Amino acid sequence: MSHRHFCDYAGHDWECDGLALRPLAGDTEPSECYCLRHQVPMERGDHSGCPVELLACPEHREEQLQQIGTFDPKDLRPSVGSERGMLHDRDGRPIVGFCLWCGKDFYSIEEAEAHHANNSKRCVAFQRFKCRY
Ligand SMILES: [Zn+2]
Ligand SMILES: [Zn+2]
Ligand SMILES: [Zn+2]
Ligand SMILES: [Zn+2]
């Protein structure tokens, strides 16, 4: 008997045949699904009324990992967000990016570079952060 999981990445439920990979828990191999309430394998007995485990489906697993993987506190540096496509400031004017530290909008790459030059000397928020750590 198969059971269900809820893919928290894309927000849908999916059928599982008893083994699932849980990379977020540090697993590299699929492991048996256990019912949290009954503490037995999901394949044993009927757990249709039991809590559903949140787990990204095989289709979205990679995407979810990538999304989480790209978030690395070490990368928390001012950057130009041009690869995100068209950005706009509060007034709807196109910007090439913004400063992650102080939230300043950049209307040109030059402006962004100037802001981040010399270790973000012009960025007050970044300087404050640096002093504290
Ligand atoms: Zn499962
Ligand atoms: Zn159960
Ligand atoms: Zn999914
Ligand atoms: Zn800044």
**DSSP string computed for the chain:** --EEEEETTTTEEEEE-SEE--GGGT-SS-EE-B-TTT-SBTTSS--TTSPPEE---HHHHHHHHHHHHH--GGG-S----GGG--EE-TTS-EESEE-TTT--EESSHHHHHHHHHHHHTT-HHHHHHHHH-
How confident is the model over 88-126, as pLDDT tens digits?
Answer: 888 888 888 889 889 899 999 999 999 989 888 889 888
pTM for this structure? 0.51
Ligand sitting nearest the alpha carbon of 123 = 4
How confident is the model over 41-94, as pLDDT tens digits?
Answer: 999 999 989 989 999 999 999 998 888 766 555 555 544 544 445 688 888 888
Ion ligand 2 residues within 5 Å by Cβ: 35, 37-38, 47, 50
